Amino acid sequence: MPSVLITGATSGFGKAAAMRFAKAGWSLILTGRREERLKALESELSKQVPVLTLTLDVRDSDAVTKALGELPEQFLPLTCLINNAGLALAPEPAQKVDLKDWHTMIDTNITGLVNVTHAALPLLLAQGEGASILNLGSVAGQWPYPGGHVYGASKAFVQQFSYNLRCDLLGTGVRVTDLAPGMAETEFTLVRTKGNQEASDALYRGTTPLQAEDIAEQLYYLATLPAHININRLEIMPVRQAWSPFNINRDPE
């Protein structure tokens, strides 16, 4: 039975991915910081497949290394790693942002991803051909926008880290993909605005954003491609989202 490790599995893309892979019969290793949500997900999905939940902060390298070094044999070798844990904070201009918010994004989106990947690599290499590392990037890593500052930069790291991993893993059979979603209706904006439901509702009002299930379906597709295929980067936007012209600062008339 193939197994998948999903970080940030308590909501959004991570939770939807857990449900999609469970539907296909994969064993699940689910991590997150909110234990009550993890246990609820375990209770639901363990009726279908083996589920192991790890209450874990990906920023804690020692805890990550210990947890992944002690996985039960029934979940090994590891077939797929989905590096989903991440967040955006502080949509204000850079000059108005609390430095702590920058550090939180760097520690989660970059350091956390590196911690998990480093600990999981031996498990994926044991699987070899057909194993996958699927990193959740963002269109923000490719296309800058006001208020993107460290969030966009952290997702640019995800893209380049993915590409460089591909180089290092050549010949091992392990695949690496940067999956970069555009606008998606999840808890993302609630987290970014620190609980501002009105701001979240306004962002998605009157349009048709991606849903978490859309991204979960793409993750499953990537993980189940024939073993000789690697998609380096998959950028996905809703049809109703596109790029805008450059902003120009003009003198007042």
Which sequence positions are flagged as catalytic? Answer: 151
Residue in the structure block whose two tokens are 């991440």: 86
Q: Rounded distance, CA 30 to CA 13, Å?
A: 12
CB 106 within 8 A of CB 39: no
DSSP type of residue 213:
H
Collapse the DSSP code of 201 into the 3-class scheme (helix H, G, I; strand E, B; otherwise coil) and give the result. Answer: helix
Compute how many other C-beta atoms are within 10 angstroms of the C-beta atom of residue 118.
13
In angstroms, what CA-CA distances link 203 with 137, 197, 208? 20, 10, 11
C-beta separation of 20 from 217 below 8 A: yes
User: Residue 185: beta bridge partners?
Assistant: 211
Residues 161-198: b if buried by 16+ CB within 10 A, e if exposed: bbeebbeebeeebbbbbbbbbbbbbbebbebbbeeeee
CA distance 16 to 58: 19
